[in-house]
Every structure is written in C-alpha cells, then in structure tokens.
Chain A
Amino acid sequence: MIQVNGRNFTWEDGLTVQRLIELKRYIYPHKIVRINDRIIQEEEYGSTLISSGDDVKVIHLMAGG
C-alpha cells in the first residue's frame, strides 16, 4: 500500500510514477509530483520507481475559472 494525496492506494511491483498517473487517470499536464517530499521531474516519471509505503503527492496546479 502507498499513500497518494493522503489516501490509500494499492502498490504493485515495479510501479513507476508514470504508471501511477495512468492508473489514476491524472491527465492534467501541469502537476507537481513529490515522493516523500522529494520533487520528481517530469522527465523522470517513467524511470522513478515507487516503493511500498511511499507517500506520493500528485498536486494538480489547476485553479480554474
């Protein structure tokens, strides 16, 4: 299990940031991703592995209206 934006999410072996974004259908392009408070650059989404127990934040910088 991992935390994604403070909510439980099932972890799977080999889970990358890119895969997590696909699973969560986070299509909005302008996001900030942090794993345990470390910022992950967009070009690293595909290669960055998420470990079981990690605290992941995917902050959508969408302010609308």
Chain B
Amino acid sequence: MISDEVRTQSNIISEYRYTTGKIDKGYNNRTLYVNVGTGEIREKPVTQMMKDKLIGGKGFGLWYLWNAVTPETRWDDPENEIVISTGPLGGITQYPGAGKSLVVTISPLTGMPMDSNVGGHFGPLLKFAGFDSIELQGKSEEDVIIFIDGNEGIVKIEKSPLKVSDSHLIGEQMAHVFSENEEDKKNVSVVSTGSAAEHAFMGLLNFTFYDARRKKIRMKQAGRGGTGTVFRNKRIKALVVRFRGVNRGLNNPVNQDILNETGVKMHREIHENDAKQNRMREVGTAGLIEIMNAYDLLPTHNFKYGSHRDASKISSEIFKKMVTQNMPDGCWYGCSLSCAKAVDNFELKTGPYKGEKVLVDGPEYENAAGLGANLGIFDPQYVIEGNFYCDTYGIDTISFATTTAFIMECFENGIINREVTGGLDLKFGNREAALELLHQMGRGEGFGKIAGLGVRRLKQIFIEKYGADPGFLNDIGMEQKGLEYSQYLPKESLAQQGGYGLTNKGPQHDEAWLIFMDMVNNQLPTFEDKAEALHYFPMFRTWFGLNGLCKLPWNDIVPADNKKEADPTKVPGHVRNYVSIFYAVTGIQVDNDEIIRQSERVYNLQRIFNVRMGCGRRVNDRVPYRSQGPVTVEEYESRAERYDGQLLELAGFDPEGKTTAEKMAVLRKYREDQYEKLIDAVYERRGWTNNGIPTIKKLKELGMDLPELLAVVEKLQ
C-alpha cells in the first residue's frame, strides 16, 4: 500500500482550475481535453450540432476522435485519443443501468475506431464533476496519473507514485490516496489497466467503483479492442475522478416526476419477474451457459462445436454457489437488476498473487464460455482464476480466450509445437498451459507476449515463420476486422453471422444478437426479414451507447404482459420507458422512429470513419468460414444428419453416396453464397452502396451530409 506521505508529495506536472457548474437537462455542455504529452488541459464547449446529431456517449467520442486523427494515424501515434463519455441519461439513479461510459479510440487490433462500453462509477462522477466527455491525447515521457477534483474544480497531471502495475492494486491504492477515509472512497473512481497492456494489443480498461457493503474496490471492464493498450502506450497509469455529493437530482431533468414514476415501475417489474425470467440478480449473465449448450450454441474447441458433455461443470448452478448471494450488485446506483456478481475471498492458485484471497468480479457468460468451453477446460475454479488475472493484467477475456482457442487448434494440428510455445503444451483442456500463457502475457515474455498480439497477427506469424496453410488459418482464425469473436456460435444462424460480420467495430455481439430469433424461432425466414433485423437491432442497441445506458434492462427482463405485444422481441413496453426517460431528462420528445434515426446518424458516422481509415468496405465485412459452417471433416460428421438434411432441403443436393469432402464443398458454397446475399440485403436496408459505403442520399435523409463526411464518401458512390 502507498504510504500516506505520498499523498502530500508534490509531483504536479500540470494543473488547470475550472468553475464547477450545474448540469442542465442531462448536459454539462462542456468537455475536458487533457494532453499528457504537452501538459495542456482545457475545456471545450459542446455545440448544439453535437447534441442534435450525436447525442452523447459514443457519438461524442467518435466525433472528437474524427477531429483528432488523420487517415494515416496509427494506434500508437500521439494524436490518437482515448475519449470517455457518458450521455445525457448517464448518472440518473431512478432507472436501472444508467452508469455506463463509452470508450472510443483507434484500436491496435483493428486500426479503426473502437467503441467499448463499461460500467463502474467513472462516467457518472466525471459528469457530476462538470464534463460530458474527457479526451486524452498525446504521449507522456514518464508514467503519469490524471486527477479530476470535481468539487474543487481542479484537474492535474501528476507524476505517478505507483510502484504496482496491476489494476486491482492500482484501483485500491488510488482510492486510498484520493479519499480522506473509507467512507470517502465511494466518491472516487479510477480508470487503469494492468501489466499485460504494456505488451499485448488486447489491453482493456478497468473502471472502479466502491462496494460499500463489502468495503472493497471493484472493477468493471471496457474490454474490447485494446483501449488499455493505448492507455499504457500514453503512459497513463491511472485516471482518477472524485466527486462528493451524488444525489438523485444532479442531472436537473425537466420532469423529475416522469423519471421517478418510470423508474419505480421498472424496479417493481424486476422485483416481480427476474426470478422467473433470466435470474440476473442470482447468477448474472452466467445463466446462459447451460442454455447455449442445450441449443448447440456454446462455442467449444475454437468454435468447432456448440455443446459439450462437460458443460454442466461450468453451469450457472455451479457459479451460483461461488458468487456471493443476496448482495445488491449494481455497478451504478439504482440498478436493481444487479447483475454485477462477484466471488469473495477467492484464493489464487497461480501467478504473482498466488495464495492471496481476492475479490473476483464475475464470472459473466463471456468469461465462462471463452475461458472454459472454448478452450475445452470445464473447471469453474480455473475460470474464476483466469477471470481475475485477465482483469487485473488488463487483458480482454474475450480476445484472450478466442486467441488461445485458435492457438490450441493450431497446436493440435501440428502447425506449432512446444518448440514454438516455449514448452507450453497448449492442447485443448490444458488449464495449466492456458494460465501460464496468461501469466506470460502479464510479464510480457515468452510465447504469451506473441499471443497477446491477437489472432490476425498470429495468423501472419504462423504462415510466414512456420509455413502454415493460409486458407486453413483464415478459416479457423475467429477474427474479423482484426477483432476476436465473442462467445456465441453463429454457424446455424445466417442472421447472427451478419450480426457479427456486419458490425462497425468487429464481431462483438452488442450490435445484434439474433440467434434465437433466427435459428430457433424462425422469425426471420427471408433475406428482407434478416436485413430488417440487422438494421433495427443494431440501431436500437447503438442508442444505449449514446445515452450512458446499459442494454441489459431492455431485454434481460421484460414486462409480464410482453407476450401480448405485437412484436415482443423488441420489448415495446421498455422502448416506451426509454422514450419517457429521454424526455424526462432532456425535454426532447422522441418516438421509437426518432430513436432509430438518432442511432443511424452515429452509426453512419462510424461506418464512414472506418472507410476513412481504409476499411469499411464489403471486403472487410466477410467472415471466417468457421463462423459460417464446418471447416473440418470431424465438424461436419459430428452433425452429419443436420448438414445432410440442409444439403437436400436447401441446396438441392442429394448427399446420398457422396464423400464428406464433396458434401462439405457444396455446403460451403451454399452458405457463402447465402452470406453474400445477406450483405446485399443489409446494405440496401441501411442505405449503403453495394460496396458498403453510406450513400449521399441516406446521409441527407439523416441530416448527416456534413462536409467532412461527404468528402470521404463522394468519390466512392
């Protein structure tokens, strides 16, 4: 622990004083700019255009990033920024799930703008400290911390006194340094990453919050796309905000009564229905494990299969016994859905903290599915251990899991061996090897350091250095646009293949999750149906990220009478809630159509940003065949009845008497052709050209025909 003398040491590099203000209808109308290279700190006004067209959150982040970089900017250039923003509804305490921040940066994995959403208290406290966003630019020559005192109106860049490099310790020590006592820790939130982000491209950012009942610092993660890697490359050790005085009225909404009434209705609904629906308060998202397994959707062995006989060993019933029950586990005040589960007093078995008893946030579904099933390791203790170390080292669990699964398949196919891995026996199911790979990543040494570069770069290395077959690696390497797939098996759902492939940032399920609507419910039988879903749901989900909201209270709990709605999958009752609370805070009356248009403006901005960075075209939306169908003979033959039936019924090909290789080739051609037709339909629905470029007509319809956007797309129409 840092000694108290450190608190009084003067290590100030730069200081800026500002006048604290009052939020007006959800906006401070100013943001904060910090350059850690030059020491410049200043305020920027939020323009009316930003509020009208970009709303907040991801919209603000993308806009600032757009104006900070050029098409030539790489992730580690000083001009790259990390922008953290809430949104106009961020920080309200009346409605569940209103503590989210959106982190935007040029990603080391994709070379394009990345957006990653995260809970924890930083975003709301930043907002109450006076800023709708913070931009971090430049590169420091020494480790620094940035401190925002939201009550005194001071922003400082200081030399870092920290001797530790992992997030669970940085979070604790910074909370200690910047609070006056235990009670005061609730007013402090710390953003940091861990030791692995020094080397790995999949570094994440941890956002802390103080758990008053446990009296512990906890962390939520902005996991995707290497935001932590950029943070450490700028040599920022910690970003700290302190604000004392959180209360229910700080957003100064135009109609407090509507906000209160809508919130009370929602809390009652959660109280009455959660135990009968998704049990978020009991097990969090880990409850999906056994369900995905039962429907053949749980990725196992690098997405080869969708179920495994040992999946019950990592089911929610197992984790339910490990996570502490009856705790109000919300990651922001007022979230009664309380899905932020935690394991208390977990004794670590490996690594630098071996023997210590720690608090582990999670496990969430992605942790258990990725670290567990996808690596063929059905051991809950190992899942918790891996979860802890990924977080504190600053490693995205999803990218780590998908990368390690890829490595394991390469290892089992003889593409790499122990000589390459430095002795690690990286076969599926080997938990010791998987954990050692993770620790190597933390130390920045051995094969772990190479693995931290992610699937796309590993494919190049394996091809160039070890003579691997490019076709096979591109088929089994589960990345697209440079980002590793999250943990759902999309093979049997064309709509979900698009839900992953036709995203802006890469294959993350937060845009569209259509597996059940498509594969099980068969609600999207035509290309037009799928295209409509791949328009509506990504746009609707984008809206959460503009406003500082969490997606889970939208559809991981639904009203009891939702089944009577004409389209229950959209949870119309909750859409009405969002219309109400948006008005209640901002005074702006919207309807469902306007929500979609608000999102479309930002979605198209992001697409054009991708185009500007050299991506964002049809070729970038194609997906590895492992996500579309069986790559290997054993994959096909494990579900031969299903595939044979599809050949006969859908592809018009009689499989009788044919070899597996012949059948696989026909199935592949059929499925790849289907995906191309899907792309055509989705681009048309979204108002894009056949090459995936937003049309000028569409931009005009949306009021997004801004000169800087038109300059990018005009020559590509």
Contact = CB atoms under 8 A, between A and B. Distances in A.
A62 B291 contact: yes
B563 interface: yes
A5 B551 CA distance: 27
B277 interface: yes
Interface in B282-308: 288, 290-291, 294-295
Nearest to B552: A65
B568 A63 contact: no
A1 interface: no
A26 B564 CA distance: 21
Interface string B551-580: 100111010001110001101000000000
Most chain A CB neighbours (cut-off 10 Å) among B295, B521, B558: B521
Interface string A12-51: 0000000000000111111010000001000000000000
Nearest to A59: B521
A53 B513 CA distance: 32
Given A5-B521, A6-B522, A60-B516, A65 B551 contact: yes
A64 B280 CA distance: 12
B627 to A, nearest CB: 16
Given A6-B525, A32-B568, A39-B563, A65 B510 contact: yes
Given A6-B522, A30-B278, A25 B294 contact: yes
B145 interface: no
B509 A64 contact: yes
B488 A61 contact: no
Interface of A: 5-7, 25-30, 32, 39, 57-65
Given A27-B291, A29-B277, A63 B562 contact: no
A29 B276 contact: yes
Interface in B497-527: 509-510, 513, 515-516, 520-523, 525
Contact of A61 (B291, B486, B558): B558
A25 B294 CA distance: 7
B528 to A, nearest CB: 16
13 contacts: A7-B522, A27-B290, A27-B294, A28-B516, A39-B564, A59-B521, A61-B562, A62-B516, A63-B555, A63-B569, A64-B509, A65-B509, A65-B551
Contacts of B551: 65
Contact of B488 (A30, A39, A64): A64
B504 to A, nearest CB: 16
B515 A64 contact: yes
B316 to A, nearest CB: 12
Contacts of B277: 29-30
B294 A60 contact: no
Given A59-B521, A61-B558, A63-B556, A32 B509 contact: no
A5 B520 contact: yes
Q: Which 9 interchain pairs have the tightest Cβ spacing?
A: A65-B509, A63-B555, A64-B513, A5-B522, A65-B513, A62-B516, A32-B563, A6-B522, A60-B516
B378 to A, nearest CB: 19
Contacts of B569: 59, 61, 63
Interface string B529-569: 00000000000000000000001001110100011100011
B331 to A, nearest CB: 17
Contacts of B509: 64-65
A57 B277 CA distance: 19
B103 to A, nearest CB: 18
A15 B523 CA distance: 24
A60 B521 contact: yes
Contacts of B556: 63
A62 B562 CA distance: 13
Nearest to A41: B563
Interface string B608-634: 000000000000000000000000000
B568 A61 contact: yes
Nearest to B278: A30
B62 to A, nearest CB: 21
B568 A59 contact: yes
Contacts of A6: 522, 525
B222 to A, nearest CB: 16
A64 B486 CA distance: 12
A60 B522 contact: no
A4 to B, nearest CB: 9
A38 to B, nearest CB: 12
Most chain B CB neighbours (cut-off 10 Å) among A57, A58, A59, A65: A65
Contact of A28 (B291, B486, B510, B525): B291
Nearest to B512: A65
A61 B556 CA distance: 9
Contacts of B522: 5-7
A29 B316 CA distance: 14
Contacts of B555: 61, 63
Interface string B315-330: 0000000000000000
A30 B560 CA distance: 11
B557 to A, nearest CB: 10
A61 B295 CA distance: 14
Nearest to A62: B516
Interface string B181-225: 000000000000000000000000000000000000000000000
Given A29-B276, A32-B563, A64-B516, 6 more contacts: A6-B525, A7-B522, A28-B516, A30-B277, A59-B569, A63-B513
A10 B7 CA distance: 73
Contacts of B520: 5, 26, 60, 62
A5 B295 CA distance: 15
Contacts of A27: 290-291, 294
